[in-house]
Structure 1
Amino acid sequence: MGRIAAEVLVDRLAEWGVDTVFGLPGDGINGIMEGLRRASDKVRFVLVHHEEAAAFMATAHGKATGRIGVCLATSGPGGIHLLNGLYDAKLDHAPVLAITGLQETSVLGTGYQQEVALDHLFEDVTEYNLVVSNPVQLPGVVDIAIRTALARRGVAHLTIPNDVQVADAEADPYEHVAPARPPATSPTFLPAPGRPRDEDLRAAAAVLNAAERPAILAGQGALRARDEVLAVADALGAPVIKTLPGKAVIPDDSPFAVGGIGLLGTRPGEDLVEDCDTLLMVGTNFPYTKHLPAPGTVKVVQLEADPVRAGVRLPTDVPMIGDAAEGLAALLPLLDRRTDRGHLEKYQAAMATWRAEMDALEDETRRPIAPQLAVGVLDDLASDDAILTCDSGTIATWAARHWTIRGDRRFFLSGTLATMAPGLPYANALALAYPGRQVIAYLGDGGFAMLMAEFLTAAQHRLPITVVVNNNDSLGQILWEQMVLGYPEHGVRFGEPAGDFAAWARACGGSGVRVTEPGDVRGAIKDALAFDGPSLVDVVVDPNEPPMPGKVSYEQAKKFATAFLKGQPHKAAIATTLFKDKISKLGKR
């Protein structure tokens, strides 16, 4: 067999710097698998156990590296399984290319086995979406798909029929006069929003220089602008709030950091939102508007790469379109350095109190084990360039408050989609992208159970990831949401016995330890971090520990109390846990 079209696809991926494709084979992509086999010296194929995990892994690669992540699935059900992970990429603006198979062109439209119009199914999730119908299209459309995904920070999709995959690479069955050719654009192409307009920079500086109580809200779009964010914060004397996907923008021990915003945020962060008179938003489209200042109460300057998103969340006095690092660097010389540091010092003192309270909750004597303890121990023992991945749920609260960004640490989770289950696939992808760095997955038992087969993937590829399961035998976040809404809990506890995930880890060929005593947590996590291969620590934690908001509103407290009085089945245990939390905090003061 001569050179087939699938080889052109894989070769062009390699020319774009793609070195890994995550996927699961099927009869709808056998030709592409043959192309990958022939080019295995250029592009590595990572076999996963569920296509959803492949999409999550591609998304994690795109989020962490800024380069295109690629996932592959067969026709029909395989492609359908990609969708959740692809929506994670879409909503968190990660560049991903999804490649799927399709039935032979001669049977399309006949209701053939597994015939699903994946191009139609993927319409909402994609920035570029095409059925490839001619082998000579491939070099050109691969270029366009990748350029679109990078430029628009989203998902591109190519679906390729079986007969096209294995056709002669130069075949042009309809003898077109001008067959498609690859564009001249270099594969090193990257989008560059660049420097904002000078008039916008001057207008922004005028608003910021007039501020008396400025604040900065930094999101994931500012992750590569740490030095610039800190320099502007210093010039303005402005505390910096971070969205959860933007947690690694500046270190948590920075004198400018006041933690997060929203239900998972800090009390100083929430107070600052209510107190500031001017807000500089950098690289964020924070969706939870009820946690932002009331419209019209503050002046707003926004630095945003996408003009569509500028001004979407708040009335914005000065929208600036540009790259976070370039925009802040250009803004800095126009700012008047604030000599009065009283506003900043107020929040530095508030953060010192908050940090002491959080430290107190990492109590190694409390029984059952406090969930804050496991992530606090991780924070103590992990290296300064460790990467933490996280699922959605109560674990996101504990990670937000107890995982400290210092040095070159990084943090990844599903931000806007907030789906369960990406933490383990994320960790696998990042262990492949960053060999030699500690990669830790901090997961809930609910999220881990959804894609736990990917621990077997880690074992088969001998990936040195460390998984810590916060095992409360329940869907903890939903439990507390029900109570805050005033409903007694229902349908959120799995029931005894809690799953023993350590046994699963050992069955996969990794290390697995189950911990039920607080005094054993530190030693178990220390050993897991040192293990040469995938390791898992299953920590059985107090299921009645509430992920309380940083600042509890009167309405939240009233509904919580109402649910308590209406027959909450675990109210005695919950009351005891709340009492222990209060005692721990008081003991630190």
Structure 2
Amino acid sequence: MSTTVSDFVIDRIKAWGVSRVFGYPGDGIGAFDGALGKADGSERELEYVRPTHEEIAALMATAHAKFTGEVGVCVATSSPGAFHLLNGLYDAQMDNQPVVAIVGQQGLASIGSFTQQESNLERVFADVACYVETVATPDAVGVVVDTAFRTAMLRKQPAVVVLPHDVQAMAYEAPAAEHWVSRSSDVAPSTRIVPPQDQIARFAEILNAGERVTFLVGAGARGATDLVLEAAEKTGAGIITALRGKDVVPSDVPYHTQQVGLLGSRPSLTQIKECDTIVLLGSNYPYGEYLPASGQARGVQVDIKPEQMGLRYPTELNLWGDVGATLQAVMPLLRDKQDTAWQEKLAGEMREWEAEMHRQAEVAYDDGVNPRRVIRAVNERLPEGVTVTCDAGTTADWYGHHIRLRRGMHGDMSGRLATMLAAMPYAVAAKFAFPDAPAVCTIGDGAFQMLGMNELITVKKYMAQWPNQQLVIVVMHNDDLGQVSWEMRTEDGNPMWSGSQDVETMDYAGYARLLGFEGIAVHSDDEVDAAVERAFANPGVTLIDAYVSRNVPPLPPHITAEYAVNTAKSLLKGDPAELGVIKDSAKAMAAEAVERVKGALGRD
């Protein structure tokens, strides 16, 4: 029975289907934390996971929402703790995830008085949150909490509940039927929106008329895998997945050509250039230059976020609806196409692309291990049910090019925000979400140094709770903020600047061993397979410290003139890694050229 406002909030969080929160304590949220402690071990208990930083707590809440489909919840104290949540909440906002943050505040009488750790939190969170409100009285706590959860679920955005310290400890009674008092509902809303039937019929007409249909599938199609595949079979469509939608479509679907763009495949580029119909399913794919030319293809977008439709391509039909429910509605109107030439062409090109990726992973570099070889070795040994996370940076390129997720596997990252370091909290959140399954984290050394290293401490604290304790962390150790170095060269024609790009080296494998984990250093290509084999043979935590080349180019599927010219400009300006960049880029492009010749000649 709720006796204080904090007790009520705990009970209400549970009523909304939440069993786990990610938090960090402080005096501004102290009474609420005390109530959490008192509920510990009782039927009112909420599992409380405390990582090493509030930013990590918010990223873990976002990852929990992504992996489970539930509302993620994070908890922090007033000003400094609240501010630290922002990056993780922006990750939720930009990737359309329902997250509720419970944030402390100084007492009501202090608001606006410039006292210690008092700040205007409603203004702070106004941009990131779809709903932010301060609970000023016990009578208001129900409607504020319920509205936060309901709005987060419907709008797929973060919401913030601000709890002043004194209000947290106030006595709570269920509100009576009085003026200005809301007696709110804790019933979750339905989001299975289906467009009107006339729009469904138009959708079917467009699909039936297309001869070379392409589905661009994003994370918004999670839960609709079978419907996506059924629709593709009926319409003869090829499938591209956005990076965050990689796990929506199994990798063994032959006409699934993986991603498109800088970290995409050449068969996906073929789809974009040659399709006559493109259907975006639950994707706000941000790179318009990798979508068809205007007027080339008829365009349809299906999304639960209406404000994110029709932004990247001039679609002729925008359907506001849940992807699964919308596909289910259109399915009876689709004609079975007998001509599978489009799918067969894409499947053949995908086989050639996989051979090229294999060859790229075999290239030897003078200044370190080929990072592609490391990720390929990981991919070849992925166990069933695994969750794979990747970080922003070149690890995202290798993840897109080499990781192939089978049915039942999960994969994700910080998408539109693309914040560094998210791969570690995502992987740890996956261990909580799926404690019976393994997880793999791929991360660069720059991101690992940010806050990622800290989360090995969190793993040490909680791993005994996980029936399956296997967690493999792959650190790409090149002492460079590699993606930014390449962006400086290819986007701006500037040389890599050591003052901003160099990462101080350290013994990451030794750090893992210091915490009692397995640490494996990999210094040469011929050590890669044995190291990865050893990591997956270990039922516990393993860190692979891979000393990789910093000069391996994240080659796009088609090297544009701008890419090549800007890289040349950067080298002429005195790039400190000039010789290595020239040699290693030449090797990578030579491997690509060999595969193209083989493909043209029809040879293996």
Tell me the TM-score range normalised by the shorter chain. Answer: over 0.9
CA shift, 1:5, in A, is 1.5
Distance in 2 (CA, whole Å) between partners of 1:283 and 1:354 is: 26
> Is 1:77 aligned to residue 77 of structure 2?
no
Q: Which moved more, 1:518-527 or 1:23-32?
A: 518-527
Task: Show the counterpart of 1:138.
Answer: 141
Offset of 1:527 from its aligned partner?
2.8
Question: Corresponding residue for 2:526?
Answer: 519
- Unaligned 5+ residue runs, structure 2? 599-603
Q: Give the match for residue 479 of structure 1.
A: 485
Paired residues of 1:364 and 1:519 also in contact (CA < 8 A):
no
What does the per-residue CA deviation read over 1:11-32, in whole Å, with 9 as the maximum and x for residues that have no partner?
Answer: 1111222111111111111101
TM-score for both structures, normalised by structure 1: 0.95
- 1:500 equivalent to 2:501? Answer no
Q: Aligned partner of 2:200: which letter? A: L
2:408 is aligned to 408
- Matched residue, 1:107: 110
Q: CA deviation digits over 1:224-265, x for unaligned, max 9?
A: 111111111111211111110111121122122112112111
Give the direction of change, closer, same or farther, for the CA distance of 1:162–1:87 in structure 2 (3 Å limit). Answer: same
Moved more, 342-351 or 220-229: 342-351
Question: What is the distance in 2 between the residues matched to 1:250 and 1:290?
Answer: 23
Q: 2:57 aligned with 1:54, yes or no? A: yes
1:492/1:383 Cα in 2 relative to 1: closer, same or farther (>3 Å)?
Answer: farther
CA distance in 2, matches of 1:171, 1:492: 60
Instruction: Give a deviation string over 1:306-349, Cα, whole Å, max 9, x none.
Output: 22222222222122221111211221221222222222222221
* Worse-matched range after superposition: 281-290 or 340-349: 340-349
Mean CA deviation greater in 156-165 or 176-185: 176-185
Match of 1:21 in 2: 21
Q: Distance in 2 between matches of 1:518 and 1:493?
A: 28
2:484–2:501 Cα contact (<8 Å) kept: no
Unaligned runs of 5+ in 1: none
Deviations 1:277-301 (A, max 9, x none): 1111111121211211222332111
Distance in 1 (alpha carbons) for counterparts of 2:528 and 2:297: 46
Deviates more, 1:426-435 or 1:193-202: 193-202
Maintained 8 Å contact 2:393/2:444: yes
Distance 2:144 2:274 in 1: 51
Structure 1 counterpart of 2:393, which letter? Answer: G
Structure 2 match to 1:280: 279
Deviates more, 1:103-112 or 1:93-102: 103-112
CA contact (8 A) 1:136 1:179 kept: no
Alignment counterpart, residue 551 of structure 2, candidates 544, 554, 559:
544
Q: Quote how far apart the aligned CAs of 1:139 are.
A: 2.6
Work out whether residues 143 and 182 of structure 1, in 8 Å CA contact, stay in contact via their aligned partners in 2: no
- CA shift in 2, pair 1:310/1:579, >3 Å: closer
Kindly report structure 1 stretches of 4+ aligned residues shifted beyond 6 Å: none
> Equivalent residue of 1:461, what SS?
helix
Separation in 1, partners of 2:122, 2:516 = 39
My pick for the range that moved more, 305-314 or 387-396, is 305-314
Q: Following the alignment from structure 1 to structure 2, what is the Cα–Cα distance between the partners of residues 26 and 509?
A: 29
1:461 maps to 462
Does residue 337 of the first structure (1) align with residue 360 of the second (2)?
no
**Cα distance change on mapping 1:146 and 1:522 into 2, 3 Å:** same
Alpha-carbon deviation of 1:575? 2.4
What's the counterpart of residue 601 of structure 2? none
Cα offset for 1:10?
0.8
The 8 Å contact of residues 390 and 412 in structure 2, kept in 1 or not, is answered as yes
Conserved 8 A contact 2:497-2:576? no
Q: TM-score, structure 2 length as denominator?
A: 0.93
Counterpart amino acid of 2:391?
A: D
Please say if residues 522 and 546 of structure 2, whose CA atoms lie closer than 8 Å, have aligned partners that are also in contact. yes
Q: Distance in 1 between matches of 2:577 and 2:361?
A: 23
CA distance in 2, matches of 1:405, 1:250: 8
Tell me which residue corresponds to 1:308: 307
Deviation at 1:528, TM superposition (A): 2.6
Structure 1 residue 211: Cα displacement: 1.5
Determine the structure 2 residue equivalent to 1:259.
258
Contact 1:364 1:518 in 2 (8 A): no
Match of 1:535 among 542, 560, 582: 542
Q: How far did residue 218 of structure 1 move?
A: 0.8
SS of the equivalent of 1:340 reads coil
8 A Cα contact 1:413 1:423, kept in partner = yes
Query: How far, CA to CA, are the matches of 1:329 and 1:15 in structure 2?
Result: 30
Deviates more, 1:242-251 or 1:313-322: 313-322
CA-to-aligned-CA distance 1:11-60 (integer Å, 9 cap, x gap): 11112221111111111111011111112232011111110000000000
2:240 corresponds to: 241
Deviation at 1:535, TM superposition (A): 2.4
Question: Which residue pairs with 1:354 in the alignment?
Answer: 353
Distance 1:163 1:185, change over 3 A: closer
Aligned to 2:219: 220
